[in-house]
Structure 1
Amino acid sequence: MIRPASTADRALVSSLLAGATWKHQHLDWFSAIELIGTPPCFLALEGARIVGCMACPPDVREIDWIRLFVAGLGYPVERVWDRLWDVAQDAARLSGATAAAALPTADWMPGLLKRAGFREVNQVIFLEWGGAPLPGHPPSKVRIRPLRRPEIAAVAEIDHRAFRPMWQLSPQALEAALAQSAVATVADIDGDMVGYQITTASAVGAHLARLAVDPPLQGNGIGSLLVCDALRTLARRGLRRISVNTQADNRPSLRLYASLGFAPTGQSYPVYTFML
């Protein structure tokens, strides 16, 4: 049996996750349990027992990322996936999504995706800055200042202009990112916001989680100013290991990070899509 999940199921899904071998959780700003009850989100049951869960609520309307998939211990993962995906893809179509996407971080997940007709379209690759000297910048009209919560709507507008729908973040996701940030700044020119960055931190290092510059102004060093300011701020706090990830086909992004001393770590994850 397959049924929609509700917020009342969160404790049951939490228990399922705790004991499961087969579990996929998307890399984003929301915990898996927060997603339970936001459609499309479904449970697979054997009798009264929950044996699987799939959640793929969209962050932007066009794309449904598979944000959570879990199959209970002792249950065939392929069978649980098939039952849940059959229902979830229909629900995604009805909601207006044009594609589903997945960023698998476990080596067993790509097999399920390929079996279901997903196609690998990209790679997300990781780079790291280890304290390399940063370039100087000539005098500029660009001012870097802290990002304020009331500015999230303006940040989302820049984000949506800078990224294809698959990679865009909603205002809700950006607000969650800001709440988890260690350094969040915007770039202004004559009072107009032209770019932003959000970086998180932990005891072992930091992660440059988001960087965007308004497309008409890209290529003018604004991204470099934002990143260098964040790196210097973090270095003053004693953090000199900063990671970032970007798409393998995003050549401008890769050139920027290379120019600032970021080097590939060798870690990467494939990106899969399924046209609905």
Structure 2
Amino acid sequence: MLFSATTPTHIRPAEKNDHLALSNLFHFEAYNFRHLDWKRPIDWLGTQPFLVAEQKGRLVAALVCPPDSPGVAWVRAFVAAGQIPVEQVWQALWQEAYRELEAKKITKIAAICMEPWMQKLLMSSGFRRTDAVVVLAWDPASPLAPPRFPARPRVMVPEDFPNVYAVDQACFVPLWQNSQPILELAFAQAIFATVVEDETGLIGYQISTPSPRGGHLARLGVHPRAQGRGIGYALVYDLLVRLAAHPPVLGSLQVTVNTQAENAASLAVYKKANFQFTGHQYPVYEYF
């Protein structure tokens, strides 16, 4: 069936019985934007704004942007059938989503987006590029200096979650904070997750996920009161030692990490640990 701009479009919240139709949309349609996320778009079903566009009883588009942390929402997914005017259906969904986010008193709305077609939609709706997430890869050929922080990180356990969340809230600005449920989901997907403690308690953590030839350092945080003591580097060093002890069956070990292009403190830690820029980056857009 072909859809046109003249076909009436109904915008409504997604419902649980939309699961199959949404899964098909996210799987098959060409206009398919997804946030860098630990959750699949369909896993946000039951939260709002998760809006769908319906024509003649058939779902033709969806926009997923529910807040996870207080005051902040990321555009987590947008999908549209290739036969409909994508600009028109985006505007219809975005206008309704923005009304809902305004009512929830969301003050920061952002998207991480590489796709030119999606960047165009964002900019047409008041988003502006403000930063970029850059990708770095570890150079295993260069020797690693031993960490100066004396205590070796230990394995993270579920009982650490409240303290890990507290560190995350303390060391990241609101836009880049994660909720405790999201951190727990990251932990569930991790190949290695470790923490550092001192006499005051838990002061740093890292969560790394597996990749086909090694791992990806997905999250690294050190409490502000403990920064400058080499704790971030100690966590990265320990992770690299653990990954090197489990090399891939085929090929050389690859370890990657993402961070904001403007995050000088993180970049300094990764540079010390012999991570190098790959040239890949993900533009960050914020709504104004």
**CA apart distance, 1:160:** 0.5
Structure 1 residue aligned with 2:196: 187
**CA apart distance, 1:139:** 6.3
**CA apart distance, 1:134:** 1.2
1:35 matches 2:44: yes
Match of 1:28, SS state, is coil
Q: Which structure 1 residue ranges, 4+ long, deviate > 6 Å from structure 2?
A: none
**CA apart distance, 1:173:** 0.3
Structure 1 contact 129–263 (Cα < 8 Å) conserved: yes
Gaps of 5+ in 2: 1-9
Structure 2 residue aligned with 1:242: 255
Structure 2 residue aligned with 1:137: 147
Deviations 1:106-145 (A, max 9, x none): 22211111111101110100000031321113462x3410
Match of 1:59 among 51, 68, 88: 68
Quick one: which amino acid aligns to residue 284 of structure 2?
V
Quick one: which amino acid aligns to residue 67 of structure 1?
R
Cα separation, 2, equivalents of 1:267 and 1:138:
31
Match of 1:229 among 238, 255, 259: 238
Pairwise CA RMSD of aligned residues? Answer: 1.2
Structure 1 residue aligned with 2:265: 252
Deviations 1:64-92 (A, max 9, x none): 10001001121111111001000000001
Query: What is the number of residues matched between the two proteins?
Result: 274
After superposing the two structures, state which structure 1 stretch, 256-265 or 13-22, moved more: 13-22
Structure 2 residue aligned with 1:121: 130
Match of 2:275 among 262, 269, 276: 262
Structure 1 residue aligned with 2:7: none
Structure 1 residue aligned with 2:105: 96
Match of 2:158 among 141, 145, 149: 149
After superposing the two structures, state which structure 1 stretch, 186-195 or 166-175, moved more: 186-195
After superposing the two structures, state which structure 1 stretch, 242-251 or 103-112, moved more: 103-112
Q: Against the structure 1 CA distance between its residues 139 and 79, is the aligned structure 2 distance closer, same or farther, given a 3 Å change threshold?
A: closer
Cα separation, 1, equivalents of 2:99 and 2:149:
54
Q: Against the structure 1 CA distance between its residues 143 and 256, is the aligned structure 2 distance closer, same or farther, given a 3 Å change threshold?
A: same
Structure 1 residue aligned with 2:116: 107
Match of 1:69 among 63, 66, 78: 78
Cα separation, 2, equivalents of 1:183 and 1:191:
24
Structure 1 contact 127–264 (Cα < 8 Å) conserved: yes
Cα separation, 1, equivalents of 2:149 and 2:196:
14
Cα separation, 2, equivalents of 1:262 and 1:201:
17
Cα separation, 2, equivalents of 1:136 and 1:18:
46
Gaps of 5+ in 1: none
Match of 1:37, SS state, is coil
Cα separation, 2, equivalents of 1:76 and 1:135:
55
**1:206-225 superposed matches below 5 A:** 206-225=215-234
Match of 1:158 among 155, 167, 174: 167
Cα separation, 1, equivalents of 2:126 and 2:187:
35
Match of 1:237, SS state, is coil
Structure 2 residue aligned with 1:202: 211
Provide TM-score, normalisation by structure 1: 0.96
Cα separation, 1, equivalents of 2:147 and 2:48:
47
Structure 2 contact 130–286 (Cα < 8 Å) conserved: yes
Match of 2:153, SS state, is strand
Structure 2 contact 204–222 (Cα < 8 Å) conserved: yes
Structure 1 residue aligned with 2:287: 274
Q: Against the structure 1 CA distance between its residues 139 and 10, is the aligned structure 2 distance closer, same or farther, given a 3 Å change threshold?
A: closer
Quick one: which amino acid aligns to residue 229 of structure 1?
D
**CA apart distance, 1:7:** 2.1
Match of 2:256, SS state, is strand
